[in-house]
């Protein structure tokens, strides 16, 4: 009996149950399951359309990110720019489309020196629409836009340099506020980049005899026209210059005033009323005629006298020699505009001597 009981107890302790084929062993009592099931949401195409319709800005931002990438498909970038331009023309004040204009400006200003000519053209067209309908927004981003324009003016690719003059023309002709802001804050930097653009930085060099004298799609006339208008807006008071760009001489006032009135009256064309206090970074004029490289880019030239002094002392000789070379070319249009600029330079020389005296 005792032997049978021991056999049964031994069997209970060490028995190994036989499993049937194809069945797994049972889990122990303290087993913890680690399996889990993730819940999935299947969105149909119609549901996606409803969700995106509530936030169109997300789609616009995706397209702007494609525009930023230079390596993206060129045709896709062109189509996106054409779409944005069409939206701005159909809905100028963004009452229904809600285009993110701040993000658009960040992308557009970088496209001003894109490798593709079509991309640059469409970017300028969008910039023109923004200047026309959102002028205050352009004023807020004016300094950063000008940095990209200056980068385009000194770009290694000649065609990008030529197109840059169209972009800065848009900004200066975008209203009185933009014109005054550009000329006052960036007067010296504009002329420095013009010397680079026109290749007028090298001394004792004939511009027309060099390989740099190439007329890319007639851009030389546009560049000279821009120089003429820049001189007119920057160096001559508005009331002393007519609409054709010719100086008004010997104009007599019909109203009789006291002899000492002009001595004590604040001139209406003087924007720097407190210039003698030197509170606004007024430039210091030396008698040694500093070169263009010695003039600080950040110098404010809000006053006409300051602009005349800085231009004459830093850029007059280079511009005069470069314009004189253009009077020797065979193109009649270039000769006419060059002679006009030379006349403006003579007037500026007279203004400088009058200021210095």
**Share above pLDDT 90 across residues of the chain, in percent, rounded to a whole number:** 44
Q: What is the mean pLDDT of the chain?
A: 78
Nearest to residue 326, comparing CAs of 235, 201, 225? 225
Q: Are residues 165 and 227 in the same domain?
A: no
- Asked, for residue 179, whether it belongs to a domain, the answer is no
Q: Where are the alpha helices (DSSP H) in the chain?
A: 2-14, 45-54, 56-68, 74-90, 101-110, 117-133, 135-140, 142-153, 158-172, 176-198, 219-235, 261-264, 304-314, 316-326, 332-356
Q: Are residues 72 and 151 in the same domain?
A: yes
Q: Are residues 123 and 229 in the same domain?
A: no
Distance between CA 229 and CA 190 in Å, rounded?
13
pTM of the model: 0.69
- Asked, for residue 2, whether it belongs to a domain, the answer is no
pLDDT band at 101 (very low <50, low <70, confident <90, very high): very high
Q: Are residues 131 and 225 in the same domain?
A: no
Nearest to residue 146, comparing CAs of 117, 189, 114, 177? 189
Q: Are residues 232 and 316 in the same domain?
A: yes
227-245 pLDDT tens trace? 999 999 999 876 544 444 4
- Asked, for residue 161, whether it belongs to a domain, the answer is yes
- Asked, for residue 199, whether it belongs to a domain, the answer is no
pLDDT at residue 48 tops 60: no
Q: Are residues 147 and 226 in the same domain?
A: no
Q: Are residues 224 and 140 in the same domain?
A: no
pLDDT band at 33 (very low <50, low <70, confident <90, very high): confident
Nearest to residue 78, comparing CAs of 33, 47, 52, 114? 114
Q: Are residues 63 and 169 in the same domain?
A: yes
What pLDDT was estimated at residue 51? 46
256-292 pLDDT tens trace? 555 555 555 555 444 455 555 555 554 444 444 555 5
**Greater pLDDT, 331 or 269:** 331
Final residue belonging to a domain, choices 137, 156, 173 = 173
Mean per-residue pLDDT, 135-158: 92
Query: Number of structural domains, the chain?
Result: 2
- Asked, for residue 212, whether it belongs to a domain, the answer is no
pLDDT at residue 147 tops 80: yes
Query: 65 is in which domain, residue-wise?
Result: 56-173
58-67 pLDDT tens trace? 889 999 999 9
Half-sphere exposure of 126 (CA within 13 A, CB side): 28
Distance between CA 22 and CA 42 in Å, rounded?
36
pLDDT at residue 250 tops 50: no
Q: Are residues 224 and 133 in the same domain?
A: no
pLDDT band at 36 (very low <50, low <70, confident <90, very high): confident
What pLDDT was estimated at residue 277? 56
- Asked, for residue 113, whether it belongs to a domain, the answer is yes
198-213 pLDDT tens trace? 888 755 454 454 445 5
Nearest to residue 233, comparing CAs of 289, 280, 301? 301
Distance between CA 171 and CA 135 in Å, rounded?
10
Q: Are residues 142 and 225 in the same domain?
A: no
CA distances from 186 to 45, 146, 154, 160, 178 (A): 52, 8, 15, 20, 11
- Cα dihedral value 138, 139, 140, 143, nearest 10: 100
Query: Is residue 80 a contact partner of residue 63, using CB atoms and an 8 Å limit?
Result: yes
Lowest mean pLDDT of 80-89, 216-225, 305-314, 343-352, name the range: 216-225
- Asked, for residue 72, whether it belongs to a domain, the answer is yes
**What are the DSSP calls for 38-80, one per residue?**
----PPPHHHHHHHHHH-HHHHHHHHHHHHH-TTS-HHHHHHH
Distance between CA 350 and CA 310 in Å, rounded?
14
- Asked, for residue 96, whether it belongs to a domain, the answer is yes
Mean per-residue pLDDT, 296-324: 87
Final residue belonging to a domain, choices 119, 151, 173 = 173
Q: Which residue has the tokens 């032997």?
A: 3
What pLDDT was estimated at residue 275? 53
What pLDDT was estimated at residue 214? 57
Nearest to residue 85, comparing CAs of 69, 70, 63, 65? 63
Q: Are residues 224 and 110 in the same domain?
A: no
Chain length of the chain: 357
Q: Are residues 68 and 149 in the same domain?
A: yes
What pLDDT was estimated at residue 37? 78
């Amino acid at each position: 009996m005792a032997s049978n009981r021991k056999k049964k107890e031994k069997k209970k302790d060490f028995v190994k149950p036989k499993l049937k084929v194809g069945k797994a062993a049972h889990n122990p009592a303290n087993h913890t399951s680690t399996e889990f099931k993730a819940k999935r949401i299947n969105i149909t195409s119609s549901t996606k359309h409803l969700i995106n319709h509530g936030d169109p800005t997300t789609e616009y931002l995706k397209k702007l990110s494609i525009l930023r990438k230079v390596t993206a498909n060129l045709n896709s970038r062109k189509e996106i720019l054409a779409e944005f331009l069409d939206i701005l023309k159909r809905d100028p004040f963004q009452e229904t489309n809600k285009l993110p204009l701040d993000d658009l400006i960040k992308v557009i200003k970088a496209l001003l020196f894109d490798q593709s000519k079509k991309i640059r053209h469409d970017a300028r067209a969008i910039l023109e629409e923004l200047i026309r309908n959102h002028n205050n927004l352009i004023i807020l981003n004016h300094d950063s836009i000008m940095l990209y324009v200056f980068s385009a003016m000194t770009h290694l690719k000649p065609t990008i340099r030529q197109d840059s003059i169209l972009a800065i023309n848009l900004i200066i002709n975008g209203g009185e506020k933009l014109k005054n802001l550009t000329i006052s804050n960036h007067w010296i930097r504009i002329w420095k980049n013009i010397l680079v653009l026109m290749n007028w930085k090298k001394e004792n060099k004939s511009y027309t005899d060099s390989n740099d004298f190439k007329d890319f799609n007639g851009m030389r006339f546009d560049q000279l026209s821009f120089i003429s208008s820049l001189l007119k807006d920057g160096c001559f008071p508005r009331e002393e210059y007519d609409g054709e760009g010719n100086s008004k001489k010997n104009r007599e006032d019909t109203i009789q005033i006291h002899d000492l009135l002009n001595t004590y009256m604040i001139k209406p064309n003087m924007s720097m009323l407190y210039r003698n206090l030197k509170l606004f970074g007024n430039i210091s004029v030396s008698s040694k005629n500093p070169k263009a490289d010695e003039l600080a880019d950040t110098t404010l030239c809000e006053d006409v006298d300051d602009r005349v002094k800085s231009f004459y002392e830093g850029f007059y000789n280079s511009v005069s020699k470069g314009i004189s070379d253009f009077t020797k070319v065979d193109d009649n249009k270039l000769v006419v505009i060059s002679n006009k600029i030379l006349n403006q330079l003579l007037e500026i020389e007279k203004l400088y001597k009058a200021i210095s005296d």
